[in-house]
A and B are shown apart, each in its own frame.
Chain A
Amino acid sequence: MNLYAIKSIYRFEMARAWRTLTQSIISPVLSTSLYFVVFGAAIGSRIPEVDGVSYGSFIVPGLIMLSLLTQSISNASFGIYFPRFTGTIYEVLSAPVSYLEIVIAYVGAAASKSLILGVIILATAGLFVDLRIEHPFWMMLFFVLTAITFSLLGFIIGIWADGFEKLQLVPMLIVTPLTFLGGSFYSIKMLPPFWQTVTLFNPVVYLVSGFRWSFYGIADVSPALSLGMTVFFLVACIALVAWIFKTGYRLKP
């Protein structure tokens, strides 16, 4: 293992986040706070409790998932796309670094950033609503696994993209809709039966449900199923990344 290389890339990526502090931390915190003001306080006060949890508290896990997903993807995709775009990737490709080390460094940095962000959002939420975490261990597990999985997905997008538009395409057209429709702001039990079934094809439902269960012990689908799906997505992303590196896809002519 070339640990110095992993450390170098990781540090470089974290320094980038630090330089763009406003963009990478303050803006997500601000938008989350706005969600709380609108959904939690303004609208939430007129919505009855969901399974014994006040609406404001109910949406916290979903909101964290929302930023975890979008931030992991955008951090990781940008992190690898940008050096490809400017050409500075030549240095990483010519270094005695294995693909595994490259992934650990880039994905690790992206996941770290979104985890830090998740914690900040959690703390911000604590200022607005009552929070309780019934299953801290499982909460951490869902938290970390999701950050890694979606950072991997972002990494894949960053390698696949051949323009800045494509970089935005997947997050905008797929991830954001799926997250909004994934039960971040409601329990899928509130939907008509037909839509409840349709929703089960949305992978985000499993992530949000499992994460919310670790907070309040309430879930739309069984926690075991949630965990199974989370691990499944992780493995799928790892397999895809392995394929990319095996073929040199879009990294080396």
Chain B
Amino acid sequence: MTTMLSVSNLSKVYEGGFTALKDINLDIRRGEIFALLGPNGAGKTTLISIICGLVNASAGKVTVGGHDIVDDYRAARSLIGLVPQELTTDAFETVFSAVSFSRGLFGKAPDPVYIEKVLRSLSLWDKRNNKIMTLSGGMKRRLLIAKALSHEPRMLFLDEPTAGVDVELRRDMWNLVRGLREDGVTILLTTHYIEEAEEMADRIGVIRKGEIILVENKATLMHQLGKKQLTVHLQSPLDAVPDSLAAYALERGEDGHALTYTYDTEREHPGITDLLADLNTAGIGFKDVNTTQSSLEDIFVSLVKK
């Protein structure tokens, strides 16, 4: 699989001395959806802004589609579409002319048919002749997406695309993003919503205080999440797990007052009933059982809190 975006040793120190990014290394593969998670002020927008040419890097190198973003900025930027976090739009332009403007800016010949397709896919076609200031917040957000798509980018940056967007529109956007991926567009999105990353991403990265602290396939993460733990609270403590239960790889806890069994919920026979039956056979009485499961949210919170 080839690399679409490559960030190496990237740092950013803002004027005034604040270090927003520390030695970031990140590769995004062609055609994947990458979700960047992180708390407020972690540096998500700063990272995207550097890649897109809005902020100067202090150190490091970025290439998009193999083109350096500084030395070969024209080639690099032609590939990029950016949907910014803030709703920054003109007021008096019409929807159609604003999107056509964006296409021209990126050096593409006018193509009203394509613009129509983009506007329709974002349910903005009916509003094409409306002034932007008459649009609702959610419509403005979609307009920004339309502008970003106007020049047929190969890599799309979505900086918190679903902030302040209702549930239905969020679903629509997810579908749109999936459609883009099917066309081979590489997507990097930032979000605060774990469910969004869970729903959309192929890979997930977590950034905290300007440092990437985790990059992992979603499937791997979800697999870890697919594990559940069953804890059996015993009536009397055990010094050791009886040999007859060795197959369950039980862990003793609470000074022998509890046994913990880890199982995979995705397996057809998690073995819970067998375990309870075998406990009975072995004459081990128990007062209570409970199960726990760590969510992506738990992992995220524990990572970010450190």
Contact = CB atoms under 8 A, between A and B. Distances in A.
A90 B88 contact: yes
Contact of B105 (A9, A87, A98, A253): A9
Nearest to A3: B107
Interface string A80-107: 0000001110111111111000000000
Interface string A1-23: 01111011101100110010000
A95 B86 CA distance: 18
A98 B52 CA distance: 14
Interface residues of B, number: 34
Interface stretch (B32-40, B77-85, B202-210, B293-301): B77-85
Interface residues of A, number: 27
A2 B77 CA distance: 12
Given A88-B89, A253-B14, A94 B54 contact: yes
Contact of B54 (A9, A12, A16, A252): A252
B101 interface: yes
A87 B104 contact: no
Contacts of B106: 4-5, 95-96
A5 B77 CA distance: 13
Contact of B88 (A2, A5, A86, A98): A86
A2 B108 CA distance: 9
Given A91-B147, A252-B55, A253-B14, A97 B90 contact: no
A94 B77 contact: yes
Interface string A237-250: 00000000000100
B65 to A, nearest CB: 12
A158 to B, nearest CB: 17
B56 interface: yes
Contact of B102 (A2, A7, A91): A91
B53 interface: yes
B166 interface: no
Given A90-B88, A93-B53, A12 B101 contact: yes
A2 B74 contact: yes
Contacts of B89: 88
A5 B73 CA distance: 15
A96 B56 contact: no
Contacts of B167: none
B107 A94 contact: no
Given A19-B92, A86-B90, A88-B88, A8 B105 contact: yes
A158 B14 CA distance: 23
A88 B101 CA distance: 12
A95 B81 CA distance: 9
B56 A87 contact: no
A94 B104 contact: no
A93 B54 contact: yes
A94 B108 contact: no
B247 interface: no
Nearest to B86: A87
Given A88-B88, A90-B82, A96-B78, A4 B54 contact: no
B71 interface: no
Interface in B84-123: 84, 86, 88-90, 92-93, 97, 100-109
A7 B80 contact: no
Given A87-B86, A93-B54, A8 B74 contact: no
B15 interface: yes
Closest 7 CB pairs of A and B: A8-B104, A87-B88, A96-B74, A96-B77, A95-B105, A94-B52, A2-B107
Given A93-B54, A96-B106, A248-B56, 20 more contacts: A2-B74, A3-B107, A4-B103, A4-B106, A5-B105, A5-B107, A7-B104, A8-B104, A86-B90, A87-B86, A88-B88, A90-B54, A90-B88, A91-B82, A95-B105, A95-B106, A95-B107, A96-B77, A252-B55, A253-B15
Interface of B: 14-15, 52-56, 73-78, 80, 82, 84, 86, 88-90, 92-93, 97, 100-109, 147
Interface of A: 2-5, 7-9, 11-12, 15-16, 19, 86-88, 90-98, 248, 252-253
